[in-house]
Chains A and B, each alone.
Chain A
Amino acid sequence: EVQLVESGGGLVQPGGSLRLSCAASGFTFSNYWMNWVRQAPGKGLEWVANINQDGSEKYYVDSVKGRFTFSRDNAKNSLYLQMNSLRAEDTAVYYCTTSPSTSIDYWGQGTLVTVSS
């Protein structure tokens, strides 16, 4: 059974940091680009970042560049999103996902990040 399980969300003050993790199982994790997608409460989807198979290529949405860092550990089948200098507008459910992909479509259940004083 394929699983993507996010963790690390929570309540943080503006300017604070959080590290999200995503544990993958049930598929050949190291073969795929991976992505973070977020969704603010009651709002639409926003693509946040992606990383290639060996971690050498990464892209970010402009609003998080310089603040978020995406990494992966293929030996542990895990993803990490280090989020610094958090802002209220970063409040959202964060999903790790294989999408977009031409062959598979796996999503975690999401982890809620709330940035508030």
Chain B
Amino acid sequence: QAVVTQEPSLTVSPGGTVTLTCGSSTGAVTSGHYPYWFQQKPGQVPRTLIYDTSNKYSWTPARFSGSLLGGKVALTLSGAQPEDEAEYYCLLSYSGPWVFGGGTKLTVL
């Protein structure tokens, strides 16, 4: 099965901008992977932020956005807040099965 890769950790300053990326061992990530992004804070269940690359839910803060970037899928946080410190996971579809990335621990400091 495919391996999905993410940066293990990133740090952003409060109010700053950071981009998390997600790649696939099978080649370029496309919209056909129906990329999702999840946020998980310690002791909590995950929460979905983005679906189908760039679409937001009603509960997704406007400062989060998704895109395709250089063969990967990206999650950009613009104007980071202290409450955005969390683990972020991408999820990709492989025509039936899904695969999570290993997660990015985002520190707001």
Residues of A within 8 A of B (CB): 35, 37, 44-47, 50, 57, 59-62, 95, 99-102, 105, 107-110
Contacts and interface: CB of A to CB of B under 8 A. Distances in A.
A95 B97 CA distance: 17
B45 A45 contact: no
Interface residues of B, number: 26
A44 B100 contact: yes
B59 to A, nearest CB: 8
A50 B57 contact: no
Given A44-B100, A110-B45, 10 more contacts: A35-B98, A45-B46, A45-B100, A47-B91, A47-B99, A50-B98, A99-B36, A99-B46, A100-B48, A109-B45
Interface string B7-49: 0000000000000000000000000001010101000011110
Contacts of A44: 87, 89, 100-103
A62 to B, nearest CB: 5
B1 A100 contact: no
Nearest to A98: B48
Contacts of B47: 105
B12 to A, nearest CB: 20
Contacts of A99: 36, 38, 46, 48
B89 A45 contact: yes
Contacts of B100: 37, 44-47
A34 to B, nearest CB: 13
